[in-house]
Amino acid sequence: MAKRVLVKGNEAICMGALAAGCKFYFGYPITPQNDIPEYMSAHMPEVGGTFIQAESEVASINMLLGAAATGARAMTSSSSPGISLKQEGISYLCGSEVPGVVVNMSRSGPGLGGIHPSQGDYFQSTRGGGHGDYRVLVLAPSTAQENYDLTMLAFDLADKYRNPVMILGDALIGNIKEPVELKPYRRKIKPKDWALTGAHRRPRRIVKSLFLADGELTDHNWRLYKKYQRMAKETRFENYRADDAKLVLVAFGSVGRILKTSVDMLREKGLAVGLLRPITVYPFPHQAVQEAAERTGHLMVVELNTGQMVEDVRLAVEGRAPVDFYGRPPGSIPTPNELAKEVAKVWRKRGLQ
């Protein structure tokens, strides 16, 4: 068995990144993700990599663009207000098809908001966030182990699709400490035949997002569109006691794991509830949600916001089943007992037995 260490969620992200061969990190401090630049500043030099605390979030995302354009594995991280500042760069990464990993240990907003956990950045993460018609793969871990595993996966997916991949956590996922099994990274990193490595004895390569010739941008956008369609096969989710459930809950990240305990509590009282936890929120697990709707006819979404992912669930369900929602704005973390009560209310309202 691989080595087990007790680490913070934020540190687990760094360990996954370094294991996956990340050689460049650019960041700017903001709570609740400061453990990431702190860890990277200490450990990046040990692997011969480069750590830079940039002068701003805008600078750090553009440094990522530059480093990744040379073919290196690179990462940046921030939290909600900082991620807003990075949106222009994320759009440029998508437009010029440069891979990179962007971590958002989100906090509460809008504006400067606060440092509480929140899932208020769901729309921004899954709908693009910057300008233009683009998509970003978004992974939503719920444990320190998943932080480690999914960060390694994020680098692979970024390279595979030549697209930025976002890791969407929150203050809870970043700050909890849990044992993490440091599984070694064994996949081979393929050479990049598009990267800017100096055009010595080979034709020149161009990485850009500006296309002015007649029809060029149309073709480029169609090609990107087809790529985003292909990403659908990366869909991942966890099915927690949902197979024989009469009411299926849908929740991601921190709330997803809190709900697992609520599901156990309700099961003990004889309420057949289960949970679908999207691990990729883009691509969203439409099919799994649709099947659950057809099988049970009863869905409920729980989020740490006033209603964002519930829209994706309703899109997936296409009216096949009513979708209830319980949301909570930032300021407190719901406990499993509180959520169990809300689920039980829906159970009774729908006359389930």
Partner 1 sequence: MYFDVIFAGFGGQGVMLMGNMLSVAGMHAGKQITYMPVYGVEMRGGTANCTVVVSDRPVGSPVVHEPVCAVVMNRPSAEKFAPRVLKKGMVLVNASLVDPKYVKARTKKVIYVPCLELATEVGNPRLGNMIMLGALCQASGVLDVEQVVKALPKALDQRYHKMIPINTEALRRGGRFVAEL
Residues at the contact surface with partner 1, assessed by CB under 8 A: 4, 6, 115, 172, 175-179, 257-262, 264, 333-338
Pair of tokens at residue 334: 């719901």
The CB-of-49 to partner 1 minimum distance in angstroms stands at 24
**Of the two residues 95 and 117, which places its CB atom closer to partner 1 in the complex?**
117
Rounded least distance, CB 5 to partner 1, Å:
8
Helix H or strand E encompassing 105: strand 100-106
The minimum distance between CB 34 and partner 1, in angstroms, equals: 12
SS3 102: strand
Q: Which residues contact 101 (CB under 8 A, 6 or more apart)?
A: 17, 22, 73, 74, 75, 76, 151, 154, 155, 158, 164, 165, 166, 167
Spatial distance between the Cα atoms of 226 and 111, rounded to a whole number of angstroms? 35
Which token pair is 71? 């073919």
CB of 262 to partner 1, least distance (A): 8
Instruction: Indicate the residue among 260 and 314 with the shorter CB distance to partner 1.
Output: 260
Residue 36 belongs to what H/E stretch?
A: helix 35-43
Which is closer to partner 1, CB of 29 or CB of 179? 179
The Cα angle at residue 118 between residues 113 and 121, in degrees rounded to 5: 85
In this complex, which beta carbon is closest to partner 1, that of residue 76 or of residue 175?
175
Which of 126/254 has CB closer to partner 1?
254
CB of 294 to partner 1, least distance (A): 27
Interior/surface letters 29-60, b for 16+ CB within 10 angstroms, e for the rest: ebebbbbbbebbeebbeeeebebbebeebbbb
* Shortest distance in whole angstroms from residue 314 CB to partner 1: 26
Nearest 5°: phi and psi at 81? Answer: -60, -35
Q: Of the two residues 61 and 279, which places its CB atom closer to partner 1 in the complex?
A: 279
